Structure 1
């Protein structure tokens, strides 16, 4: 018999013996645990210490007598081990004892099935063992079929969906208003989006015959608004109109047509309310309003106007708000300058100058042209404020606040005012109710009009009591959310003048003397200024 790994065989004569076959040509040594398990299953006792000593010295096969006098013959044995993941069955074999039955191919296959191996049996491995039996040797007798993972569905948008894409800047940092390229223009018939459907993959099977599911994949569908056609196969979105494409917060593709005012928006046009984009070639005159669900682009100047846009607002020549100007956008705001205007942006704000304005932005506020400056008013950003100069030599009060969502601050202050107002009203009501109650106790009754007023005050007081609990809970939740903000950065590339107040989340720094080229960040409970270069 030609073999390589060490193995053993049980011999039954006048007593029970173990015949040991040492390894050959670099074969594996005997696994004593395997021998111990085999003999233990037959209640056969042996001096393993003496046996191990004999094994270490043996170069040729030898026979070792056990401490057991008698046992029953044992057939050729197969030990099946199934891997933890169920993907492989490894078999080891022990030769039959004296008088034991040898194993045939059909016996091996039945034993595999008995041990739970029902799939992926490797016929060549079975034949290899049957043709040249190697004992105490691993045979991979079965392999499962691994599942093939598929892939998630994917949507490829055919237009620019980056709401944070910023317009091009000139070498001096100012915005090139003649090459904005941040509006996704489309033509009727253009493809807007393509859906690459998910591939759910192919299930696998382990050696026990159990199904193995591939990893779950994400399924997607194309979501879209009006004036868009979905192809019959559900994989393509086509625009029915020429206009502007956007992707909203719910991943819905929308297209809007553009309303163009070729000259000024003035008393001849009146206010503009439009479901789509508005482009004004000229100016917007004092006191008028523009309300659009899409973008608003104004080629001229705007004075004392209110502009509300669901998308971007672009003012190529800026706005003089005159204390009543309002800009409110769901997207970004880009302007030559902002003066005496209240600004609320759902994206970033970019300008060459901001003067005495109240500016709040979910994204960055960038005033980075060569002479770009912020002078007076308040600027708020959740992420980053980057300006060239802040404040003025005159010590103009200028606030820069970063690190907290401006909408949270508005909500915080609104709730704070409501709570204070409700407390004042309850205090007045309480005094009046006490007065009526004392009058009722002393006189035994109230005139009908006073009684009605007493009941009305009591009802209002009860409602205020209930409302203030809700408001205080909401106020505490907003305050906690503000406290969890981890801060932002304020960068000034040139000069910061005295009179500037810097706030990072809840830490404040008042600038007392001119500093240059600094980055303001929060350090613990303080704001510190670090030189950038």
Structure 2
């Protein structure tokens, strides 16, 4: 006769020790007891999170040949780091939008975010602490701790006593960089800037809602934004310039900046930007640009004048059907290369002289009150300053050479006779009307490639 062996409860524990499942094979003899199930749990190391209701249900209803969740650990609840909720726009675009009809909307450019005195600029939400869990073996499972952020730094605002609210102390422009906020004054003119207003020289940003009339100078260490037309005026900025309605320069306007320029159009104007320039039209202008020039609107064109950029030019139409002389220039000319060679030789000489001075000072280090030592120290200070100045200029020019590598003139639409294109030391003249091409330097010549 075959021996009858009683089957035992089976326990399966999840890998993370957070869940246990009970499996009761169909019993050969008597039904399973609670004691047998608890002993099986104990053998499996389950000592926490046993679900009594599930255990009683399995035994009372004789739920065999299936897995039943019998124990559940407590999962940790991670904390939440503290964070700042900013009450001003921190991600506005400084580039114009391209309209469906191909035109460029310069009114879409936003250069500054303005706040008022007493305005709440930020709210701090404090960290939420985590809650530790417990696994089936009775061991704690640590939760991630919520961390508080350091208070915002900067100027032009104050923090509430509980550290949760930040309030502006003035009307002005607000800027955010990492965890630092700065509120600076803004010079704002509601109407025109003419001779009755006088010249403006402001440490900060300038906003003009009207026209900048002929004969006026507007200078700012920050940005300059003009809603109306700029006439024969001078505008100088330490940062970006936005001229929403363009410039009618009458050969007297001068626009210069260390940053970027965006404008509807330029007519008979001298323009310089260390950064990039974006516009719709250059008409008989003298333009120089440290980065790239982009004229990509539907009617964007360069007609007449001289337009130069280190890193390249993109334009829709170059020249005109009247064959007006139009010169565009990209890259670096021979004078830049010559200057780099001169600076390298000069720096070598300066370093050699400084080495000689150091050797002389070592010989005289034990001699007190020697006028020769005083003279050598004076020369060392002078030559060290010259070396630093020349090294900085060399690095700037070498960076300029590197940025110009591979630059091109890209004409999306038409290029007319009368146009000349200069790349570095090379120049080509357009003899006949052509469409959609790119001027590229290849070795010792400029080639025109179809787009």
Q: Distance in 2 between matches of 1:419 and 1:213?
A: 64
Q: Could you tell me which of 317, 320, 329 is aligned with 1:389?
A: 317
Q: Distance in 2 between matches of 1:282 and 1:327?
A: 18
SS state of the match for residue 494, structure 1?
strand
Query: Cα deviation per residue 1:86-116 (whole Å; 9 max; x = unaligned)?
Result: 3322344579999xx9974345335534533
Alignment of 1:112 with 2:41, yes or no, is yes
Tell me the residue number matched to 1:337.
266
Change (3 A) 1:361 1:185: farther
Q: Distance in 2 between matches of 1:88 and 1:175?
A: 61
Tell me the residue number matched to 1:142.
71
User: 1:169: Cα distance to partner?
Assistant: 6.1
Tell me the residue number matched to 1:516.
435
Cα RMSD of the aligned pairs, angstroms, is: 5.9
Tell me the residue number matched to 2:60.
131
Tell me the residue number matched to 1:85.
16
Tell me the residue number matched to 1:500.
421
Of 472-481 and 253-262, more deviation after overlay is shown by: 472-481
Aligned partners of 2:302 and 2:326 also within 8 Å: no
Aligned partners of 1:259 and 1:274 also within 8 Å: no
Aligned partners of 1:125 and 1:140 also within 8 Å: yes
Aligned 1:295-306 pairs, distance under 5 A: 295-297=224-226, 299-301=228-230, 303=232, 305=234
Tell me the residue number matched to 1:379.
309
User: 1:123: Cα distance to partner?
Assistant: 1.8
User: 1:290: Cα distance to partner?
Assistant: 0.6
Q: Distance in 1 between matches of 2:100 and 2:211?
A: 24
Alignment of 1:327 with 2:248, yes or no, is no
Query: Cα deviation per residue 1:250-301 (whole Å; 9 max; x = unaligned)?
Result: 6636353334386546698456133343437453666946123354437453
Q: Distance in 2 between matches of 1:489 and 1:93?
A: 78
Change (3 A) 1:481 1:113: farther
Aligned partners of 1:167 and 1:182 also within 8 Å: no
Tell me the residue number matched to 1:206.
135
User: 1:337: Cα distance to partner?
Assistant: 1.3
Change (3 A) 1:501 1:418: closer
TM score, norm. by length of structure 1: 0.56
Aligned partners of 1:241 and 1:257 also within 8 Å: no
Aligned partners of 1:86 and 1:208 also within 8 Å: yes
Q: Distance in 2 between matches of 1:283 and 1:428?
A: 48
Query: Cα deviation per residue 1:415-463 (whole Å; 9 max; x = unaligned)?
Result: 99567414235358869999xx9xxxxxxxxxx99x8899789969996
Change (3 A) 1:431 1:103: closer
Alignment of 1:314 with 2:243, yes or no, is yes
Change (3 A) 1:417 1:84: farther
Aligned partners of 1:222 and 1:252 also within 8 Å: no
Q: Distance in 1 between matches of 2:234 and 2:421?
A: 28
Q: Distance in 1 between matches of 2:233 and 2:47?
A: 82
Q: Distance in 1 between matches of 2:243 and 2:393?
A: 39
Q: Based on CA coordinates, which of the two structures has the bigger radius of gyration? A: 1
User: 1:350: Cα distance to partner?
Assistant: 3.3
Structure 2 unmatched runs, 5+ = 360-369
Q: Could you tell me which of 342, 345, 349 is aligned with 1:423?
A: 345
Aligned partners of 1:168 and 1:180 also within 8 Å: no
User: 1:530: Cα distance to partner?
Assistant: 5.5
Aligned 1:34-45 pairs, distance under 5 A: none
SS state of the match for residue 56, structure 2?
helix
